[in-house]
Structure 1
């Protein structure tokens, strides 16, 4: 069984036991979170598509860690003008583990 869930404005395909990196959540490490914006569920009973969400469906997960992504180098330059700027960026993510998918 799997589901398509909207987490922090992005869509993820999840199944029980999956580990995902999602945009940074405000919950503490070890906390249990529930996502109610389930857009699609698929299982033994067939596929259920929401309009826009599936009624009574939810996904529970636990927060494993708060991490940063790989460094992205941003380099700007204007030729013949002596203008050079180098910046780095690391996007914050939260690692979660999917616990259970429930459809009522």
Structure 2
């Protein structure tokens, strides 16, 4: 059984007991969240596609932890101008464990 969910402007293919890293969500570790925007749902040979979402389908997940990803460096240099700029960016993310997929 699998589902394709949409969260944070991205799409993820998930199954039960998967651990997925997604963009930052509100909540504490151990909290249960639901994803209602299910784009596709599959169970064996049967696959249901939504237009745009599958009605009545939900994916439940548990928040495992919050964290920050690796540093992305933005370095700009203008040659022969003695001008340079270095900036770092660390994006926040949330790790979730998929606990169940249900369809109506």
Q: TM-score, normalised by structure 1?
A: 0.96
Structure 1 moving runs of 4+ over 2 Å: none
Unaligned runs of 5+ in 1: none
2:54 equivalent in structure 1: 54
Rounded Cα–Cα distance in structure 1 between residues aligned with 2:22 and 2:8? 8
Q: Does 1:93 align with 2:88?
A: no
Counterpart CA distance in 2 for 1:38 and 1:25 is 17
**Unaligned 5+ runs, structure 2:** none
User: What CA RMSD, in Å, does the superposition of the two structures yield over aligned residues?
Assistant: 0.9
Residue 68 (structure 2) aligns with? 68
Cα shift at 1:45: 5.9
Cα drift, residue 8 of structure 1:
1.8
